[in-house]
Structure 1
Amino acid sequence: MLSLRSLLCKTPKSSPFLCAFSTQSSTDASAAPETLTTSRYDELINKAGRNGDFDAVQSLLEQRGKHGLFCTNYTFKFISRDISKLDDLLAALSRIDQRFARKSAHDCLVARLSKLRHLPHALRVAEIVVREGYGSNAVTFHPILNELTKMRKFKEAWRVVEAMKDLKVRPDLTAYNYILTGYCYVRDLSSAAGVLTNLENEKLGADTRTYDALVLGACRDGKPDAALRLLIRMEDEGISPLYSTHAHIIGSMVRLGFHAQALEFVMTCSGRDLKLDYENFGTLATKLIYRKRFEDAKVVVKEMKQRGIEMGEKLKEFYDMHAIDEHDAAAGKTE
């Protein structure tokens, strides 16, 4: 097996940065070569990027690809401080031989630029991925759509969808779900209905995220009864709801003053999934406390105690101060 030193310095692509690193790593001849982890690769790539050593960036990305290690949100952190390095970075990425590494690196760069809200740059990189044949799929465009819909820039999001189609990249269900969720959040239900029409016309169906968005829209529109009907429909179709789907309903009921109904809903859903019970009971108790419905909250935390559902630190403190009864207090003293 080749040593790390020979692997890094044998090729003409090697750089002073990589050679210095490999020399440092092999100072002790008796020591085993360093096993590079995902975080260690990120560290080295960012150091090389800050130093302007893009040959090193290229080689490190190729090597992590050979080890099957995806890029992460931290891989191109250095670009956050200096966007002027983008063209040099793109040139380095274009020279990567390994297909997996090249696609992963470009997708990661799109995500980083999107998070920084350099969205025109992100779209430019996504278009390069498609035009250069690095791997044309909708996943590359997801971070852009996610940020645009978070910013409520729906016209721009639709332009990205059209750009995908122009590039012969079919928008997938996840792409439409980002837009649907954004519309539901701002209670633009007529536009949300238009997204559903798109899903039907393109025969993309619906998944748990689609229903989560619709439940969110119903709840933000003050219609928890409609949200409950959607939840029942999910169960009928064998689609498991997200924890957030339940949280939308609980939050809506509490906001509308339906405290007893909220507890009934949580109790009805209980006993199937311990993690779900923790989320639902905890969400309900926390929201009741926030609205100073202390008597109702006491009922919820007592139920949690009786069922052996773990409480967070703040709920446990509330229970100890307000809900613990004399029997529990006496039992605590004898232990």
Structure 2
Amino acid sequence: MSFLPKPLNKTLNSLSILASALRHFTAQSATAASKPFPDDPTSAYYDELATAAGNSGDLDAFRDLLNKRIEDGCFNTKRTFKFLTNTSSINDLIPTLSNLNPGVTRKSAFDSLVNRLCRLNRVDDALRVVETMVRDGTFSITASTFYPIINILNHNKSVHRARCVVDLMAGLGVRRDLTVHNLFLMTHCSAGDMAAAAEVLREIEGDGFFADSRTFDALVIGACKTGKVEGAMVLVRRMVDDGVPMLYSTHMFVIGALLEKGCFEQTVKYVKCFGGKDKALDADIYGCLASKLAKLKRVKEAMMVLEEMKQRGLSMGDKLKSFYERNGA
């Protein structure tokens, strides 16, 4: 949708919009405004302009950019609110977002702001934004709005408060989804609290969900953290049998746990079992194995893995290349 009633052409229309949106920008922004507005702007391009608008304090221009970027199919990213710092007030920003085009444009902006505030560990401000979203009433709040809040609270070991956020969701009629469950599951498994993890699994089943890659990833990590490598291998076999894709992190934890147990041959067999299907994955798991063997001073085994990487044409990091060259390649 155009801001002009009858645009002469796409380039002229975009230039007119840009001139309006950037009228109070800094000198850096003025330089950018003198350049032709791209026919196909990207999210990164809009993020650059949004940062300049935010840094200059021109919230009217910032509002216009947020409206226009969604019209151009350039959705907000984690960099859209990059200009916010730990000391930045959101008192003026919230009313600005409340005046955005209703629907997707407004909700996307609010969600991005919540995400940025959580990255800055400003949970109370993030919850203030949620309150505004509730009062707005022009869109439905979804569970995804709460992901960053629950994640940072769990990361800060404030599990009880994270549970209170889930209660808040329920009060708003927002059903917790599998991602919410997985955030709690990962927290408990990373801490080695498998009793609490088992309770989360019961909640997952009770809510009618099935385990996905992140569910299994958390459980594998929990098994490895508590020294139950055999249990981790059972979970891996279950994933293979059920056709659940494995995350890179799942492989890394299994490799590390096997090596800690001194199961060098079994670790090599594990890597070879999953090799040959995805070259990027091969480079990661073979590289991970070689790096860990090198740190354990298992030079012979590390060199065997690196030789196979070379034969397969897999890329090596600088440290592995240096190790390979130093040890007689």
Scaled by the length of structure 1, the TM-score of the pair is 0.87
TM-fit CA distance, 1:25:
7.3
Distance 1:323 1:257, change over 3 A: farther
**Quick check: 1:4–1:22 contact (8 Å CA) kept in 2?**
no
Corresponding residue pairs, total? 317
Give the one of 157, 160, 170 matched to 1:155.
160
Matches of 1:285 and 1:87, distance apart in 2: 52
Query: Which letter maps to 2:136?
Result: E
Are 2:282 and 1:272 equivalent residues in the alignment?
A: no
Give the one of 92, 99, 108 matched to 1:88.
92
Aligned to 1:285: 290
Matches of 2:32 and 2:191, distance apart in 1: 54
Give the one of 79, 86, 103 matched to 1:99.
103
Aligned to 1:121: 125
Aligned to 2:302: 297
Query: Which letter maps to 1:4?
Result: S
Aligned to 1:168: 173
Task: Kindly report the root-mean-square deviation, in angstroms, between the aligned alpha carbons of the 2 structures.
Answer: 2.5
Query: Which letter maps to 2:216?
Result: Y
Describe how 1:141-152 pairs up with structure 2 within 5 A.
Answer: 141-152=146-157
Query: Which letter maps to 1:119?
Result: V
Distance 1:176 1:45, change over 3 A: same
**Quick check: 1:45–1:75 contact (8 Å CA) kept in 2?**
yes
Give the one of 311, 316, 319 matched to 1:311.
316
Are 2:43 and 1:38 equivalent residues in the alignment?
A: yes
TM-fit CA distance, 1:290:
1.4
Query: Which letter maps to 2:148?
Result: P
Q: Which moved more, 1:38-47 or 1:59-68?
A: 38-47
Distance 1:317 1:5, change over 3 A: closer
Matches of 2:17 and 2:52, distance apart in 1: 19
Are 2:277 and 1:233 equivalent residues in the alignment?
A: no
Are 2:141 and 1:136 equivalent residues in the alignment?
A: yes
Aligned to 1:218: 223
TM-fit CA distance, 1:139:
0.7
Distance 1:45 1:265, change over 3 A: same
Distance 1:51 1:265, change over 3 A: same
Distance 1:294 1:280, change over 3 A: same
Matches of 2:83 and 2:237, distance apart in 1: 47
TM-fit CA distance, 1:15:
7.8
Aligned to 1:79: 84
TM-fit CA distance, 1:246:
1.0
Query: Which letter maps to 2:83?
Result: F
Aligned to 2:58: 53
Distance 1:141 1:299, change over 3 A: same
TM-fit CA distance, 1:254:
1.1
Distance 1:318 1:33, change over 3 A: closer
TM-fit CA distance, 1:33:
4.1
Aligned to 2:212: 207
**Quick check: 1:110–1:143 contact (8 Å CA) kept in 2?**
yes
Matches of 1:78 and 1:130, distance apart in 2: 25
User: Could you list the runs of 5+ residues in structure 1 that have no partner in the other structure?
Assistant: 325-335
User: Could you list the runs of 5+ residues in structure 2 that have no partner in the other structure?
Assistant: 1-6
**Quick check: 1:208–1:242 contact (8 Å CA) kept in 2?**
yes
Kindly, what percent of the aligned residue pairs are identical?
A: 41
Matches of 2:247 and 2:283, distance apart in 1: 14
Aligned to 1:333: none
**Quick check: 1:15–1:55 contact (8 Å CA) kept in 2?**
no
Matches of 1:196 and 1:43, distance apart in 2: 42
Query: Which letter maps to 2:99?
Result: R
Matches of 2:18 and 2:100, distance apart in 1: 14
Distance 1:252 1:323, change over 3 A: farther
Distance 1:170 1:293, change over 3 A: same
Query: Which letter maps to 1:105?
Result: A
Scaled by the length of structure 2, the TM-score of the pair is 0.88
Query: Which letter maps to 1:309?
Result: L
